[in-house]
């Protein structure tokens, strides 16, 4: 079913797990994400942003994702990732998205607060929850490597004011995390703890591709209630696709596309298992 309202997020906080938020670009990736969540019987977030919209089209991608969420056996949130403009946010709310992210991290702090406040007002007016970003997460969310990994760390001293003045429901933080898989990444756990102490809303960790399993498990205990993954899914999809194309029967969708879809399902399942304390692989 499509998850409406903020219940998906509050349940994660109350029960001590993090929601996996996985980026989709097409039907097969969405199928892989939802199949993994159904197999584990866990809720999930399917997200998309500008990169996916320019490939698939904003409306068609929304229609497909929302239809798949509606017919799913688990709760599925449909989330707008990293939007920099209010028109796009209004359009996705209109299309039926259940949550949105306004990324004002490229702006000076006062302007970030102002655009985030405006996005939150739009979202809340339609029963949609909103994520903001404080500090700036490095890298490009649609590119695997080498995409300007510079970031500005989130300042714990700014967190309370930002959350109060914007009204955000969740806060994306920059604590050494980078979009894509580039250089070895060090998550500043002391900074994350300090942010958690100051923050009255759940935290979001972007750029989780390439992070060691142990780090992902650790951040879930430090206030992170949503974890974003993209690159590892894209890579799995394309590897699966290459395998499918190598096969002797590479002339049917089942032969070519199913391995790609299955590869996404496998990676999503392995990540979801890290996010629930009751599902760790060693348990």
Catalytic residue numbers read 81
Binding part of the chain for ligand 13P, among 56-64, 121-129, 225-233, 264-272 by CB under 6 A, reads 225-233
Question: Minimum distance from CB of 187 to ligand 13P (Å)?
Answer: 12
Tell whether residue 209 is a contact of ligand 13P (CB under 6 A): yes
Binding part of the chain for ligand 13P, among 1-9, 112-120, 206-214, 262-270 by CB under 6 A, reads 206-214
Tokens of 249: 């029967």
Residues in 71-90 that interact with ligand 13P by CB under 6 A? 81-82
Question: Minimum distance from CB of 47 to ligand 13P (Å)?
Answer: 7
Question: Minimum distance from CB of 248 to ligand 13P (Å)?
Answer: 33
Q: Of these, 30, 98, 99, 231, which contacts ligand 13P (CB under 6 A)?
A: 231
Nearer Cβ to ligand 13P (223/256): 223
Torsion over CA of 12, 31, 269 and 228, rounded to 10 degrees? -50
Question: Minimum distance from CB of 143 to ligand 13P (Å)?
Answer: 8
Binding part of the chain for ligand 13P, among 3-11, 111-119, 159-167, 226-234 by CB under 6 A, reads 226-234
Tell whether residue 216 is a contact of ligand 13P (CB under 6 A): no
Nearer Cβ to ligand 13P (58/82): 82
Tokens of 42: 């866990």
Gap between the Cα atoms of 42 and 38, Å rounded: 6
Tell whether residue 191 is a contact of ligand 13P (CB under 6 A): no
Question: Minimum distance from CB of 100 to ligand 13P (Å)?
Answer: 13
Q: Which residues contact 192 (CB under 8 A, 6 or more apart)?
A: 173, 175, 203, 219, 222, 223, 224
Q: Are 77 and 8 in contact (CB under 8 A)?
A: yes
Residue that is written with structure tokens 């996916």 in the block? 52
Residues in 120-149 that interact with ligand 13P by CB under 6 A? 141
Q: Are 31 and 7 in contact (CB under 8 A)?
A: no
Query: Of 113, 192, 114, nearest to 154 (Cα)?
Result: 192
Residues in 32-71 that interact with ligand 13P by CB under 6 A? none
Q: Of these, 51, 135, 207, 259, which contacts ligand 13P (CB under 6 A)?
A: 207
- Please measure the distance between the N-terminal and C-terminal CA atoms of the chain and give it in whole angstroms: 28
Binding part of the chain for ligand 13P, among 120-128, 203-211, 249-257, 260-268 by CB under 6 A, reads 203-211
Question: Minimum distance from CB of 228 to ligand 13P (Å)?
Answer: 3
Query: Of 184, 117, 99, 193, nearest to 154 (Cα)?
Result: 193
Query: Rounded to whole angstroms, what are the CA distances from 176 to 25, 67, 160, 192, 218?
Result: 26, 36, 20, 10, 15
Q: What is the CA radius of gyration of the chain?
A: 18
């Amino acid at each position: 079913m499509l998850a409406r309202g903020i219940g998906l997020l509050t349940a994660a906080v109350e029960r001590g797990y993090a929601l996996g938020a996985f980026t989709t670009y097409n039907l097969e990736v969405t199928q892989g994400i939802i199949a993994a969540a159904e197999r584990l019987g866990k809720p999930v977030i399917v997200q998309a942003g500008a990169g996916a919209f320019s490939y698939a089209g904003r409306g068609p991608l929304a229609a497909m994702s929302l239809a798949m969420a509606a017919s799913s056996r688990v709760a599925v949130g449909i989330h707008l990732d990293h939007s920099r403009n209010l028109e796009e946010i209004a359009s996705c709310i209109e299309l039926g998205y259940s949550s949105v992210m306004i990324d004002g991290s490229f702006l000076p702090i006062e302007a970030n607060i102002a655009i985030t406040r405006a996005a939150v007002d739009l979202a809340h007016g339609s029963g949609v929850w909103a994520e903001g970003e404080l500090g700036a997460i490095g890298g490009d969310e649609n590119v695997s490597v080498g995409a300007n990994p510079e970031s500005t760390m989130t300042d714990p001293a700014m967190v309370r004011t930002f959350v109060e003045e914007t009204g955000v429901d969740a806060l994306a933080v920059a604590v050494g995390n980078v979009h894509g898989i580039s250089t070895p990444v060090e998550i500043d756990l002391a900074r994350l703890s300090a942010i958690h102490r100051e923050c009255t809303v759940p935290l979001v960790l972007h750029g989780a591709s390439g992070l060691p399993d142990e780090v992902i498990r650790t951040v879930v205990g430090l206030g992170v209630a949503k974890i974003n993954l993209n690159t590892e899914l894209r890579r799995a999809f394309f590897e699966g696709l290459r395998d499918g194309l190598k096969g002797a029967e590479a002339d049917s969708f089942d032969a070519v596309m199913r391995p790609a879809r299955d590869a996404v399902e496998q990676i999503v399942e392995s990540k979801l298992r890290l996010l629930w304390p009751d599902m760790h692989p060693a348990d």
